[in-house]
Amino acid sequence: MLEALGWGLLASSSLVIGALLAIWLHLSLRLIALIMAFGAGVLISAVAFDLIEEAAEKSSGDGWVAMGLFLGCGVFFGGDRLISGLGGADRKDADGDQEGGSPLAIVLGTVLDGIPESMVIGLTIFEGGAVGAAYLAAVFISNLPEAISSTTGLASSGWKNSRILGMWVGIAGVSGLASVAGYGLFQDSSPGTVAFVLAFAAGAILTMLANTMMPEAYERGGKLVGVVTTLGFSVAFAIHSIG
């Protein structure tokens, strides 16, 4: 369990690193958009090769993968709409549009974005005795642009740096606990249930990418976003192949 906590905290530590980079370097909106595109490509690769492929191998063809995929999509979609209505719709915006949103909704939305990824880390440790290097790298890399973009927007909307960093440290802690939950909750689960959980996370992550990261990246980065997304996918696939 401590191992799950440690790996979960390691993966989510990039949220704090990304926030510090945004505070110290003052990156341009276009560069932030391209970094987000790279992170999106990394996560797409992780969904395809570390979640869905693994889920399909564990499933006996009884529909667990399809159910998990669409339920994960539905839960994230519903949660995202609820949080958007509460004022957290612009949590990843780098332009400062968070100013009119609810701080609590912004925090809840960011937690919602990261929980599925973190739970899978703990689950993979239980299943194989060690976390998959490719998936861990994918989560770590993809967290950077999310934190950079959100931090830039929050700072522009008037949030103090100490408040921003406190938020990311807290979210990193929640992500670590989510990894522990993924390790502990499914110890007596059947392969079908594990397949369902992996597919659930995949559906939630894909919906998050399509609803938040990719539109924001394209709005600021233009057509080059497609090239950088492909690059991110290729790098993550290479890590997966080596691992």
For 9, the token pair is: 């905290």
Check pLDDT > 80 for residue 98. Answer: no
Check residue 92 and give its pLDDT. 66
Check pLDDT > 60 for residue 185. Answer: yes
- Note the pTM of the prediction, 2 decimals: 0.85
Q: How far is CA 23 from CA 94, 112, 144, 154, in A?
A: 12, 23, 13, 10
Q: Which amino acid is at 115?
A: I
Element (H, E) at 186: none
How many separate domains does the chain show? 1
Burial of 129 (0-12, 13-18, 19+ CB in 10 A): exposed
Neighbours of 21 (CB within 10 A): 18
What is the share, in percent, of the chain residues with pLDDT greater than 70? 88
Query: What's the rounded Cα separation, in Å, for the pair 59 and 57?
Result: 6
Q: With cut-offs at 50, 70 and 90, classify the pLDDT of residue 202.
A: very high
Domain range holding 106? 2-20+29-242
pLDDT tens column, 117-144: 888 887 776 555 444 667 788 788 888 8
